[in-house]
């Protein structure tokens, strides 16, 4: 891994960490959701500081290229994140529908009195 790429990964990881912590402080971001992004940034920091880890893991698993291992790993991480976000959105939609129905029932009861 070239020095320029390593420096870029370090800088981007630190920027993401600062951005996420700022969003948490301004209450624009839920702390539970920030764990994923902070963990991903820490992972990028570790990979950029110790690139041999990727070489060893990709060799151990059987990838021909460490970049293929990294891309596939990130793809699966983001796919898992998308799945859990879809589950969360579905739960919120169900709650919203229930609240709307309850409000409609209460509004109807007030009109009938």
| CA atoms of 85 and 94, how far apart (whole Å) | 14
46 pLDDT higher than 80: yes
Structure token pair of residue 99: 């609240």
pLDDT > 90: what percent of the chain?
39
Task: Return the higher-pLDDT residue of 83 and 110.
Answer: 83
Lowest mean pLDDT among 11-15, 44-48, 51-55, 109-113: 109-113
- How many other C-beta atoms can be found within 10 angstroms of the C-beta atom of residue 47? 21
pLDDT for res 24: 86
Q: What is the distance between the alpha carbons of residues 45 and 39, in angstroms, rounded to a whole number?
A: 10
């Amino acid at each position: 891994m070239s020095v320029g790429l390593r420096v870029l990964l370090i800088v981007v990881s630190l920027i993401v960490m600062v951005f996420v912590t700022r969003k948490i402080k301004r209450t624009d971001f839920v702390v539970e959701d920030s764990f994923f992004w902070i963990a991903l940034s820490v992972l990028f920091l570790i990979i950029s500081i110790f690139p041999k880890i990727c070489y060893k893991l990709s060799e151990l698993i059987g990838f021909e290229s460490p970049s293929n291992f990294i891309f596939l790993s990130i793809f699966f991480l983001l796919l898992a994140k998308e799945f859990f976000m879809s589950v969360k959105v579905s739960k919120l939609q169900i709650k919203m529908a229930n609240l709307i129905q309850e409000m409609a029932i209460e509004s109807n009861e007030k009109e009938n009195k």
